[in-house]
Amino acid sequence: MAPRYQGSLMTTPAPSPASATPPAATETDRIRTALGWMHTAHFLTSAPQLEHLPPVDLPEIAFVGRSNAGKSTAINTLTQQTRLAFASKTPGRTQHINLFGVGKQKIDDGVLADLPGYGYAAVPKEAKLRWQRVMGNYLMTRESLRGVVLMVDPRQGLTELDEILLDVIRPRVAEGLKLLVLLTKSDKLTRSEGARVLSITRLQAGGGEVKLFSALKKQGVGEAAELLWRWIHPNT
């Protein structure tokens, strides 16, 4: 057998000078950076109603989803904190909007907004309609809004209220608003169920990213954190 061509040994690049741009960070590095950044999340303020949410100067990421979709658990997992967002076994409990600051060296460069879950059956109809209006208003007009993370239980798929929400933000997504749909509790799906719901939701989420996510199995956590980090740091 002929010896393998060894020509590449001759073209090994010379060591780069100190001034050269550093090599691109590997995916592992980027995930580590993003998780470290998410971990700095800390409580800023709470508003009893969306209308009372103070304006912020920093780019904001809103976490939204149907009650019981796994939103609080996802926020806690992404920030690697146990009780940042109160995870409750009773759906529809958290009606406050909580803002969390996030940033390295104690300098916040982003805000996470935990919005109340919707679609809880026991909420009176009028309150539901009011909530839809207020939420729609926030999603359409909040100036600091950089991105939306929509948590969806993949065993239910997108519900009517999720679709209304996606319709509301679609024009802003077309103009650059970021969207990530997290299919939560993916540990409850088989591999083929996961692949199927992923492709269906991708079709429905026009323009947004869709990822499988499990707080229990820590699936998709680093990737989601990295995406959110890039939303807030688009030039790095």
| Binding piece for ligand GDP, criterion CB under 6 A, among 7-15, 19-27, 32-40, 64-72 | 64-72
Beta bridge partners of 214: 219
| Binding piece for ligand GDP, criterion CB under 6 A, among 43-51, 85-93, 104-112, 133-141 | 85-93
Q: x/- contact string, 94-123, with Mg ion (CB under 5 A)?
A: x-----------------------------
Contact 118, 128 (CB under 8 A): yes
Q: x/- contact string, 10-49, with ligand GDP (CB under 6 A)?
A: ----------------------------------------
Instruction: State the distance between the two ends of the chain, measured CA to CA, in whole angstroms.
Output: 48
CA distance 216 to 88: 16
Dmax over Cα atoms in the chain, in whole Å? 80
- Coil vs helix vs strand at 29: helix
Contact 147, 61 (CB under 8 A): yes
Which of 72, 76, 79, 214 touches Mg ion by CB under 5 A? 72
Q: Which positions touch ligand GDP (CB under 6 A)? A: 65, 67-73, 87-89, 91, 117, 151, 184-185, 187-188, 214-216
